[in-house]
Amino acid sequence: MKKKHLLALAGAALAVVAVAAIAAVNLKSGPLPLQVNDVRSDPAAFQGTLTVVGIMAAVSPTDPAIFGVMDKSELLCNSPNCNKFYLPVRYEGPRPAHGDEVEVTGTFTHGGRLLTATAVKTLRNHKI
């Protein structure tokens, strides 16, 4: 392989890395999903459709379509008095598994007491 070909190859590799980095930064610059702890204190203050990220950690004993998601940061807490809060989510589609990190898109209903989801996307599972 000639020198100029190698140089072109190295230049192309650098360009690909630069484009990928810029694309990654731009993709992330949109509105960030909310965390459960962001909305737990005053859910009614959030208007319209929003996306909340959390860990599926509980299921309603009375309504299987309602499950509870806790904040991701609770995975880091290891004291007996952890500040666990389960945000109730109603979703008519398939229920995520226990420990699934989910991205819930929906609106707060019932005066902010329930997040009625239109989409639930599973990101990964945490063994909890």
Partner 1 sequence: MNASRLVFRNMTRRRGRLVLTLLGITVGIASLVTFLSLGASLQREIRREAHALGADLVVAPKGSCAYEQVSILTGDQLPVTITMDEVRTIASLPGLTAVPLLTEKTAVRNRPVPVVGTDLALLSRLKGWRLAQGRLPDLPDQPGLVAGSAAAEDGGLGLGDTVTIRGQALPVLGILAETRSRDDTGLFLPLELAQELFGVGDRVSFVAVQVDDVSRTGDYVLAIREATALGVVSDEQMLQSVLSVVGTVSFTVQLIAAVAVLAAAFGIVNTMLTATYERRREIGILQALGARRGTIFRLFLVESGCYGVLGGFIGVATGALASLFLAPYVGQNAFTAFVKGSAGGLDPATAAGSILFSLAVALVAGTYPAWKAAGLAPVEAIRYE
Among 30, 48, 61, 64, binds partner 1 (CB under 8 A): 48
Q: Is 80 in the site for partner 1 (CB under 8 A)?
A: yes
Q: How far apart are CA 72 and CA 124, in angstroms?
A: 12
**In whole angstroms, how close is the CB of 91 to partner 1 at the nearest point?**
21
Size of the site for partner 1 (CB under 8 A): 38
Q: Is 41 in the site for partner 1 (CB under 8 A)?
A: yes
Q: Is 127 in the site for partner 1 (CB under 8 A)?
A: no
Q: Is 124 in the site for partner 1 (CB under 8 A)?
A: no
Give the residues across from 51 on adjacent strands. 105
Give the residues across from 58 on adjacent strands. 68
Specify whether the CB–CB gap between 99 and 69 falls below 8 A: no
Q: How far apart are CA 38 and CA 57, in angstroms?
A: 17
Give the residues across from 121 on adjacent strands. 103
Binding span for partner 1 by CB under 8 A among 61-69, 81-89, 97-105, 116-124: 81-89
Binding span for partner 1 by CB under 8 A among 32-40, 61-69, 87-95, 113-121: 32-40
Q: How far apart are CA 126 and CA 94, in angstroms?
A: 18
Q: How far apart are CA 15 and CA 11, in angstroms?
A: 6
Q: Is 20 in the site for partner 1 (CB under 8 A)?
A: no
Q: Which helix (H) or strand (E) holds 25?
A: helix 3-28
Which residue ranges make up the site for partner 1 (CB under 8 A)? Answer: 1-3, 5-7, 9-10, 13-14, 21, 25, 28, 32, 34-35, 37-42, 44-48, 50, 72-73, 76-83
